[in-house]
Amino acid sequence: VNVSCARTVKLTLEYDGTDYNGWQIQKGRPDRTVQGEIEKALKQIFGKPVPVRGSGRTDAGVHARGQVAHIQPPSDMSAGEIVRALNGNLPRDVSILSARDAASGFHAQYSAVGKTYRYQILNRPSPPAIDRRFVWHYPHRLDLRAMRETSRYLLGRHDFASFCATDPARAGRDTIRRVSALAVRKSGGLVRIDIQANGFLYKMVRNIVGTLVAVGNGRLEPGQVRTILRQKDRKRAAETAPACGLTLLKVDYK
């Protein structure tokens, strides 16, 4: 079998990550993962194991409105039929938005050239009832102007080592990324932080958000973020923001 000639189908999907231990199947662990649920559904549909490969893993509790993955279906079932069959076999907290036959050589992870994440903070005294699965409840004051000033220092090409969680499996890898957009908006009590980059380090968005909130709350000055970037030391930046506020919005391909 010439694998490189196999038909590849690109899937775009949405999930509520609350009840998942992240995207990726953990070898030897029975945790519920999004990848695991999709592979279970694929086995139902095709009668044999069909691996699904995502654009990257999302951590436990992180959501997606536009995660991308690919499969090599072992039948000539049309892309539209695959969407309907998958949605008929998936739990309610995962939904396949679309499927398309991809160009030869398409790979959800290696072909990706950028991603956009949204982080939502509910900034009001009362806890969220309706949005509780999708926001970080932060009841203290937030100076949006200072957070926006900080975001300007993070824009562009930097070594983001100070915003990268230690992961032994990835030690020694390049920690330079280019942040092409970073917007902090507020509507009602909801603060939305949208961040786009050519790639993200492990927990990078949640570490950036933690630092933006430390500035918003007055524990850090906006200008200190430049020093933190320069120090290339995870211990310099603020704590990681909780997973529940984070959603992968979009994966870009050439």
Q: Which residues bind its own copies (CB under 8 A)?
A: 14-16, 63, 65, 83, 87, 92-98, 124-130, 132, 134, 247
Q: CB 169 → its own copies: shortest distance, Å?
A: 29
Q: CB 11 → its own copies: shortest distance, Å?
A: 11
Pick 132 or 170: Cβ nearer its own copies: 132
The residue from 59, 76, 93, 167 that is catalytic is: 59
| Rg, Å, the chain Cα set | 19
Which amino acid would we find at residue 212?
A: L
Q: CB 67 → its own copies: shortest distance, Å?
A: 11
Biggest alpha carbon distance in the chain?
60
Establish whether 252 is a catalytic residue: no
Q: CB 71 → its own copies: shortest distance, Å?
A: 17
**For 129, which DSSP code?**
S
CA–CA dist 210, 246 (Å, integer): 12
Pick 92 or 235: Cβ nearer its own copies: 92
Pick 205 or 212: Cβ nearer its own copies: 205
Rounded alpha-carbon distances, angstroms, from residue 210 to 203, 217, 219: 11, 11, 11
Say what the alpha-carbon torsion angle 86, 39, 23, 157 is, to the nearest 10 degrees. Answer: -80
CA–CA dist 8, 106 (Å, integer): 7
45 φ, ψ (degrees, to nearest 5) = -75, -45
Pick 210 or 245: Cβ nearer its own copies: 245
Give the catalytic positions in this structure: 59
